[in-house]
Structure 1
């Protein structure tokens, strides 16, 4: 059951939630919705155009992380299919929480969404868009995890032109988020994830992020690694914001 939409959740450690939400709202220039949940632990980052694809959550315990919501017509049926592919069920609340074979948390939810938001044009003339989730996969589980996400989404797997350590899943037209699969140098551990931006000018975009409080961690050919004020790592890439493809 392929997802009709994918939402990325920025999950924050309890003491970093407020600062983290302020940073990511300012960085995207997306408004923050009213909080919801039994403890006001959830909110949505609302783009100026298109449907929301970024949400935030304050965790009860634990460190910052990313998880994904896969939007489907029938969450229970989709979860059963995912379990057949190797996922493990955590909880069923009407939305179903699962872990991938490599330990990455994701949910099936029934909410409908459509209309991918467009890139933001900044005053200096460049544009950018947060448009990709990179699954960081330890080497020993890379083949199994890549196969799982390919079969779960039904998206075609494609080798990267940037590095043999990357493969992407080709998102259908109109989806807000690409999925990139990265083979880590480490051999074991749980699969985790980080967010990637696409931009027409990586230097200008990096300066914009640093001006908001981010710190540059490393600069590579084709992408720059940054950390937000809470230490959450993410990247800015040279991909085209309109298409997500290499520039």
Structure 2
């Protein structure tokens, strides 16, 4: 089904959902990781904030949870959230709430929102002492094996983005976002899952020098969980697991 102009995402943001006890430390950590400043807080409980780059439009937001565990969700910026939510339902999504922005879940249970906030200019990667650069530019959907094919098809149809291929693993399926989009999507087949497990997600950073970038994160309070050929898994001080990859911070792609 073709994606209409009213429902096609013109911008995608990553939203870091922080458990209340992790809020202060988590916001401070991610602001230092990205080099972005925290906006004024908004919402009835002052529970929402935006991490704002020095140049370009924001694509990273934070939420203090009243309950639940630290995690991540997506904001899809569209012209008409209600029309987009209706189209998503036809693809297998479930609408959870309509606050003017619409909260939905994918067929496998991953939360995302349709919002209208503008976004146009992609932020440039941050430069760090020593000369390397990095940017938080990817949300990886961690999908139980039974839901993998359905989630790939759902997100491709929802966004209108082309299903790509990975040179790293058949368990990774990237969606090739249009030029200028700040956040990539990667669908990953989760190796272990139990009955009823929902799709979860984590954020990834692209770095021009992974070793230096990992050292920088460790100095900020993260610790290394695992090392792989093209990426390092870390856990931040707010409890969230994420990855630093060898992808190019400008193109988002792995060098050959």
Bin for the TM-score computed over the shorter chain: over 0.9
CA contact (8 A) 2:18 2:238 kept: no
Structure 1 residues 1-247: aligned runs within 5 Å: 1-188=7-194, 189-247=197-255
Distance across 1 between alignment mates of 2:115 and 2:128: 33
Distance across 2 between alignment mates of 1:41 and 1:18: 11
Distance across 2 between alignment mates of 1:103 and 1:40: 26
1:185 deviation in Å?
Answer: 1.1
Q: CA RMSD in A?
A: 0.8
Distance across 2 between alignment mates of 1:138 and 1:50: 35
1:186 deviation in Å?
Answer: 2.1
Write the deviation string for residues 47-77 of structure 1: whole angstroms up to 9, x where unpaired.
0110000000011100001011100000000
Deviation >6 Å, runs of 4+: none
CA contact (8 A) 1:75 1:95 kept: yes
Distance across 2 between alignment mates of 1:165 and 1:182: 6
Distance across 1 between alignment mates of 2:24 and 2:213: 24
1:128 deviation in Å?
Answer: 0.8
Structure 1: segments with no counterpart, 5+ residues:
none
1:15 deviation in Å?
Answer: 1.0
1:187 deviation in Å?
Answer: 4.1
CA contact (8 A) 2:41 2:47 kept: yes
Write the deviation string for residues 2-31 of structure 1: whole angstroms up to 9, x where unpaired.
200011110011111111101101111100
Structure 2: segments with no counterpart, 5+ residues:
1-6
